[in-house]
Amino acid sequence: MKSIVISLLAALILAGCNTNDTTTTSNDILPMPKDCRLNSGSFKAGKSTSVTIEAADEDKAILAECVAELTQQENGNKANSIVLRIAEKIDSISSPEGYKAEITDENITITATSGAGLFYGVQTLLQLADEEGRIPCGTITDEPEFAYRGLMLDVSRHFFDKEFVKKQIDAISHFKMNRLHLHLTDAAGWRIEIRKYPRLTEFAAWRSKQLWKDWWFGDRLYAEEGSESAFGGYYTQDDIREIVKYAQERYVTLIPEIEMPAHSEEVLTAYPELSCTHEPYKQADFCIGNEKTYEFLENVLTEVMELFPSEYIHIGGDEVGKASWPHCPLCQKRMKEEGLKDVNELQSYLIHRMEKFLNSKGRQIIGWDEILDGGLAPNATVMSWRGTEGGLAAVNSGHKAIMTPGGYCYLDSYQDAPHTQPMAFGPYMPLEKVYSYNPVEGLDEKKAKLIYGVQGNLWVEYIPTEEMVEYMIYPRILAIAEIGWRNPQERNYGEFCERAVNAVNGLLAKGYNAFDLKNEYGQRKEALSPTNNCAKGKEIYYAESSPYNEKYNAGGGKALIDGIHGGWTYTDLKWQGFIKGGVDVTIDLGEERNINAVHADFMQMCIPDVWMPAEVRISLSSDSIAFREVAVIEHDVVRDEGLSFKNYGWKTEKAEKARYIRYKATCGKQGGWLFTDEIEVECK
């Protein structure tokens, strides 16, 4: 089979994951094993190497396919052998995905309690092997920290075919990840064949514009399959069966997501009777009061379950507008009949009902953390994306949580200096930031056990091509893989980065369009060292009408004169944010000084509603009563793509005496956020 998990013979003889031509070390294993003790000797694999697989028939078939050419050597040289063996129990290993590898100059034995464990042991061998098939001798005892280690791929905003999905399964399984979550449905397109509802793929899978951004900010029309204006696609049921089988052969579980009750414009245009208004192009949320809604969802989920054998079915549940529910007669009738006090409980009613249906079929639900609203369904697992709060709320109530907070795990963010990168949706999130995440931080042992795992999410609003998808996934998904596998206390970014560079080299050699980590630009230069601000440590006063937002306080009242600049994103908590009244502060230098410059940086990122100020006024005073205006700076604020920075300031050759400085920045007519990191005052 052609994949990153190539036949063991070819891998051992031709190439490992790295490109070095010397014997490798544990620095080439990713994720890093729990315990790895290597020495200077090596096992040399070759065409005469004997391979024995002692496992259940199903596992043996999968492993034999991975090592197809080697399994023909059953009668090969027993003094040069590889043995894969299932055991009932292994000392020091509690996870069924764990394994123990014992490597001598003559033999390699990998022991595990499951086929998955043997598979992961083979991946370690592939990473250790040099170009001549030498594998260092030693003992490796290994198992994952978390049971769930996943990647979510959005195939709704832009569609990617089954071969591309299979290629990503090859890569993530090589790095011991075991879940691929497919975001199959959203407003931008329905991506799975449902035979009972043909309009989902005849119409709702196709839109009027190829690029999501052109469609979303344009007409938002859908199109008939086969028409000249139709852009999109979908997986047939046979495609899904093929992908599921392919994933199973790499011990990856596919988790389907069918969005409800929101993000469903495409469904409600194809089948408008399921909305509150019964009109196409009018609604994003299903009508919760309509019994036909449940008939539709149960029929869809029945076909989905026939295709996906996963224990979990993801039902979305996020960003529900609920705008029509308070005025919809059917929704109001449902609320009265069920004794529901508000629309949050109405949403919870649907989630509970869907859970009961899926539980009756032997399945469990996962939903985004909004499924907590109105009361969590009894057996639900929460996928926490709006920070960590949703996951913590879930475990505090005794539920499992999968941690995927946007500040660490959203791979649609810039991974390097924005001016060096293609368009991205979110702020700066380099590999180091992703790697710093600890899913169980602050939890006691009992609650930590309810953290089921971790997942990286790639939303593709601004990522329309296969090449760009891979560029955004790799290498940051490698950090997610290691977070899911390795104890947080044992992680070190410096040594991880070395292994990640080697892994990227291997991915590039195998045709993946990974970000070249060796040429990383890095952090914004202003953020690398403190600035010499003559206002540092002085007093600063905020106008009552213009307080900073506590969520983005950057450290408190003196953050704007602490000498510290922010980086490429406001989420680094070094930028102070203002959502009400703009910026209006007065700085007291304590005494009159000769001032020759006052300036501050602002950023703009329109997607999360962060804007440049439309006007900045800078004034000076000696007594805090009579201010003289020294600068009025006007700026035409326009929507753009990406992230930009602008300095607003005043500078003079002839210094002016003043003790007080007032800096006022106001929003344009679009409103939104203002973020600034430092008001610098230069004195002579």
Active site residues: 186, 263, 319
Residue 237, both tokens: 């049921």
CA distance 132 to 84: 22
Q: Which of 415, 518, 520, 523 is nearest to 476 (CA)?
A: 415
- Name the H helices within 175-312: 199-202, 212-216, 237-248, 265-270, 291-307
CA distance 19 to 99: 26
Using DSSP, state whether 163 is helix, strand or coil: helix
Instruction: Put residue 46 in one of left, alpha, beta given phi > 0 → left and psi -120 to 50 → alpha.
Output: beta
CA 52 vs. chain centroid, Å, equals 39
Q: Which of 350, 317, 304 is nearest to 200 (CA)?
A: 304
Q: Which of 53, 119, 60, 123 is nearest to 85 (CA)?
A: 53
CA distance 127 to 17: 5
C-alpha neighbours within 13 Å on the C-beta side of residue 54: 12
CA distance 631 to 645: 20
What is the DSSP secondary structure assignment for residue 559, as one 8-state letter?
G
Provide the total of helices (H) and of strands (E) in the chain, helices listed first: 18, 27
What is the DSSP secondary structure assignment for residue 237, as one 8-state letter?
H
Q: Name the pairing type of β-strands 364-368 and 179-183.
A: unpaired
Q: Look at the alpha carbons of 184, 185, 189, 195 in this order and tell me if their dihedral is positive or negative.
A: positive
Residue found by looking up tokens 């040069």 in the block: 80
